[in-house]
Amino acid sequence: MPKVPGLIKGLTVTFGELTKTVTRGAQTVQYPHEKEAPPIRARGVIALHEENCTACMLCSRECPDWCIYIEGHKTLAPPRRAGGKPRSVNKLDRFDIDYALCMYCGICVEVCPFEALFWSPEYEYSEPKIADLLHDKTRLGQWMETVPEFEPYEPGAEVKAKKVPK
Amino acid sequence: MTDLVDRRQMAYIAAQAADARVNVELETEGMTLNIGPQHPATHGTLRIVIQLDGEEVVAADPVMGYMHRGYEKLAEVRTYPQVTTLVNRIDWLGSFANEVPFILAAEQLMDIEAPPRAQWIRTILFELGRIANVTLFLGDMGVQLGAISPVFYAFRDREFILNQIEAATGGRFHPNFDRIGGVKDDLPAGWIADTKVALKAIQRFCDEMEDLIVGNEIFAARTRGIGVIPADIGLSYGLSGANIRASGVDWDLRRDAPCGLVYDQVDWKVWTHPDGDSFARYWVRLQEVREACGIVEQLLDGLPAGPIMAKVPRIIKVPEGEAYVETENPLGIMGYYVISQGGLEPFRVKIRSASFSNISIAPWLLKGTFVPDVITILASLYFILGDVDR
Amino acid sequence: MLATVAAEFAYWQTSIFKLLMAFVAVLIPAGGTVYLYLFKMVSFLQSRLGPMEAGPYGSLQLVAEVGKWAQKEDVVPSRADAFVFKAAPYVVLISTFLLVIVVPFGPDAVFADFDTGIFLALAVSSISVIGILMAGWASASKYSLLGGLRAAGQLIAYELPMVLAVVGVVIQAGTLNMQGIVEAQTTGEIFGWGALGHPFILTQFVGFFIFLIAVQAELAQTPFDMPVAESELVTGYMTEYSGFRFLLFFIGEFATANIFAFLASVLFLGGWSVPPFIMDAVPGLAPQVDGLAAALGGTTGVAEASFSPWFNLIGPVVMAVKMLALTFIVYWVRFTYPRFREDQLQSFAWKVLIPISLVNIAVTGVLKVVF
């Protein structure tokens, strides 16, 4: 059998793609009208579960580009048991993440010892002004609703699946 | 007496005039052409100063550093876990491969070995990074030579691989998934099956490129015999990766020194090509993508059960010492020389990136070629500017 | 037919009408092919949908693009030769408009019916080279200069195979007149079988092939797009142009592609006419043999006398269909192949195309005498 010239083969490849697009639709997504769901683990935006935060500053210190700003003060909380002494707790005054600086590396979520930070796959929070990318703790707390449950693992994994506090 | 002097003067002047006339007739002025820093063929901000005689290159001088981000210096003021987020950005197309040698060097200093499952996941992601990286090259080489469609096919099919990387690590481009002592997390359920589907798409893409580019007579005419690198010259310039394998040197660190990665567990082949021209470099990379698909498939089938993290202290302090680890990255050999003085941060990190060495052969290679061949050669050398400038 | 039209309208009225129709004949097909092929077909080739937002299915995208270009600043580089720089796009566009005047769209629907129509077309198509050289030289940019020089060398090299490919058609038709070529294809027979007429693509397929390659090179489309080569010369001679002047180059490029496709369909595919078996099926379409015109031996009168006036309406549609089919090939090839190198292109023209087309002419001449 004589060899088909590569020039002809190339034309059939592109024509095949043309017919595929016409009959089966394009691979692309018409973005504002239809959206692709990012995977559950996608690092879209960081959500803050404020009740768990103790203002320990670990995330702020571990952040490679120092884009987390935390302020807190000590206060007295009501005692756990009736008649006990009031506990001394850290109250969070300010928890800001500057998404204009954030590298989305996820170190803050990883180092948090009290499970106060979570990744949400939401990605639509661009702003016309760069200063508006500084999300304060209310904004970060609102992202908590979009945090999905952790997925189960592949068989053979020994890691325990975590839970998202609601 | 004066007569003689006059005659001498006249002869001198005549000779000068003759010289001048010859120069007027023969000496044409060369042209200096700046390719870059903003040019579609330089994948970023490389500048190549080219002396042209007509369209022939007399001398070429790559000017690097437009994208220098100082990662070696930055790493000195970041803790070990933070460094991986930075080095992700060196070769931004195959990011995961950048983290591995650094983590391996740190593990070597701390005398830790990752558990087998973590090593397998590392190798899988390493190869997925290679596929994502080289797939784009396979299409981009087409666009550098004027065929626009292949690059769209490359973007289309690379998307499947990026989706898998994102599903496992959370980041499409910057996985930041490798940790000292293992990997960050285990694979999500269903990931293995999905990845196999994605690999099918890549294999189909390779077949398409075989028909669309490799088999194309125009492509062959443009690349065969263009930019030939003899093996000894290539080695003396420090070339590595597919660039040197295309010159017939059978040298692949994945097989020869699989430090911390499990390439010895799978059945695969190192591809070489005897020609050393641009076509050979393209062909070798095409075969490597296919081979990488095979490697990943075998690794997915044989993924062992077990933990993914070794016992590592919560705050990582690396004991005093020096370590150099290099791996076979998508672009070539990448190595990290880490010096620790026992602190939280490395004392000094030297990054040996593949593209920097690969581009260094450009002045030798570009001499005597034509302007269109400059583009062919630069495209086939396949460098990434982040990897050149760091 | 022409006589009746001339009787009803004054000369200036027909002139203005022709001028308007020239714009229609240049701009409407250009816009149509840009949308259909450059926006949509190419996107489909690449597994995407192309522009979708402006108008239904992105159909008004071109209007948006023209609006965008029209409002951009008209930048002239400070070291450029301003007058030549500004004039260059117009020279290119003039060549396009001069080309369209010889293309017949029907028995009477022709801007100017020259006896040597195809000769004029091939001559004026070279004017665009001057415009491109002007643009390349006047831009005072090295990339533009290289692009302009490449374009000049390439267009000269490919003018010759194109002319030689056309010679075969001219020998077969026995005339340089475009209407005569159409008529020869409609009324001709292949070895006594005339149901298809005699579209020259069947007997002159070598010439057709060479003509298509030469057109591809003449238009600087991939695989012959070194003058614009985005990845090397950053669009070559157009590098320094912006705004409206870039738009003119753009229109010139795509309109010329269509007009060459029109020329190719006239030369090889039977032009505005349809094959005789269709004409026989539809009453009133079959060409009437006008004894008087034949007896008078009028050169331009032959076609007018023998074809139904309905062809003035059917003709443009037929031409558009043929043009779309040919431009599809042009763009299909353009977005599939990589480009040649400049020297490979020259040697391909001089060592392959020109010898083949010379042999083609010789064979055609011999066969013409034999049969």
Q: For residue C302, what pLDDT band results from cuts at 50, 70 and 90?
A: very low
| Residue-range domain boundaries for chain C | 16-41+84-275+308-370
Nearest CA in chain A to C335: A14
Cβ–Cβ gap C41/A18 under 8 Å? yes
pLDDT tens, position by position, A19-77: 888 888 788 888 888 888 888 888 888 888 888 888 888 888 888 888 888 888 888 87
pLDDT tens, position by position, B172-201: 888 888 888 888 888 888 888 889 999 998
Cβ–Cβ gap C222/B371 under 8 Å? no
Cβ–Cβ gap A7/C337 under 8 Å? yes
Is the torsion defined by CA of B153, B158, B164, B166 positive or negative? negative
Nearest CA in chain B to C239: B39
pLDDT tens, position by position, B306-346: 888 888 887 788 888 888 988 888 888 888 899 988 888 88
pLDDT tens, position by position, B279-294: 899 999 999 999 899 9
pLDDT at C296: 46
- Which chains lie within 8 Å of chain C at 3 or more CB pairs, if any? A, B
- Radius of gyration, alpha carbons of chain C: 21
Kindly list the residues of chain B whose beta carbon comes within 8 Å of any beta carbon in chain C: 31, 33, 39-41, 55, 142-149, 152-153, 156, 212-213, 216, 218-219, 221-222, 370-375
pLDDT at A107: 87
User: Which of C48, C52, C332 is opposite residue A11, by nearest beta carbon?
Assistant: C332
Q: In chain C, which residues have their Cβ closer than 8 Å to the Cβ of B40?
A: 230-231, 234
Q: Which of C224, C337, C343 to mutate to test the interface with B (most CBs of B within 10 A)?
A: C337
**What whole-number distance in Å separates Cα of residue A93 and Cα of residue B80?**
30
pLDDT at A13: 82
Residue A82 has pLDDT above 80, yes or no: no
Neighbour count for residue C295 (Cβ, 10 Å): 8
Q: Does C139 touch chain B (CB under 8 A)?
A: no
Residue A2 has pLDDT above 70, yes or no: no
In the structure encoding, which two tokens stand for residue B352, read together? 């040996």
Cβ–Cβ gap A159/B306 under 8 Å? no
Residue A69 CA from chain centroid, whole number: 18
pLDDT at C216: 85
pLDDT tens, position by position, C104-117: 887 776 777 777 88
Q: In chain A, which residues have their Cβ closer than 8 Å to the Cβ of C52?
A: 30
Taking a C-beta distance cutoff of 8 angstroms, is the pair B242, B229 a contact? no
Residue B44 backbone dihedrals phi, psi, to 5 degrees:
150, -130
Average pLDDT over every residue of A109-115: 85
pLDDT at C256: 86
Of the listed ranges A49-53, A150-154, B134-138, C189-193, the least confidently predicted one is C189-193
- Measure B211 CA to nearest chain A CA, in Å: 6
Residue A164 has pLDDT above 80, yes or no: no
pLDDT tens, position by position, B43-101: 777 888 888 877 788 888 888 888 888 888 888 888 888 888 888 888 888 888 888 88
pLDDT tens, position by position, B19-57: 665 555 555 667 787 787 777 766 777 888 888 877 788
SS3 A66: coil
| pTM, entire model | 0.83
| Average pLDDT value for chain B | 84
Q: For residue C151, what pLDDT band results from cuts at 50, 70 and 90?
A: confident
Residue C3 has pLDDT above 50, yes or no: no
Residue C194 has pLDDT above 80, yes or no: no
Q: Which of B76, B180, B216 to mutate to test the interface with A (most CBs of A within 10 A)?
A: B216
More confident residue, B44 or C41: C41
- Measure C316 CA to nearest chain A CA, in Å: 28
Cβ–Cβ gap C338/B373 under 8 Å? no
**What whole-number distance in Å separates Cα of residue C195 and Cα of residue A89?**
98
- Radius of gyration, alpha carbons of chain A: 24
Q: In chain B, which residues have their Cβ closer than 8 Å to the Cβ of A58?
A: none
pLDDT at C283: 66
User: Which of A62, A104, A155 is opposite residue B171, by nearest beta carbon?
Assistant: A104
Average pLDDT over every residue of B366-390: 84
Q: How many CB pairs under 8 A join A and C?
A: 40
Of the listed ranges A9-13, C71-75, C94-98, C290-294, the least confidently predicted one is C290-294
More confident residue, B306 or C229: B306
Q: How many CB pairs under 8 A join B and C?
A: 80
Q: For residue C295, what pLDDT band results from cuts at 50, 70 and 90?
A: very low
Neighbour count for residue B74 (Cβ, 10 Å): 17
**What whole-number distance in Å separates Cα of residue C369 and Cα of residue B172?**
70
Kindly list the residues of chain A whose beta carbon comes within 8 Å of any beta carbon in chain C: 7, 10-11, 13-15, 17-18, 20-22, 26-28, 30
Q: In chain C, which residues have their Cβ closer than 8 Å to the Cβ of A29?
A: none
| Average pLDDT value for chain A | 83
Q: What is the ipTM, given to two decimal places? A: 0.83
Cβ–Cβ gap A159/B186 under 8 Å? yes
- Measure C151 CA to nearest chain B CA, in Å: 14
Of the listed ranges A68-82, A136-150, B88-102, B237-251, the least confidently predicted one is A68-82
Q: DSSP letters along B216-282, please?
A: -HHHHHHHTTSS---HHHHHHTT--THHHHTTT----HHHH--TTS-GGGS-------SS-SHHHHH
SS3 B82: helix
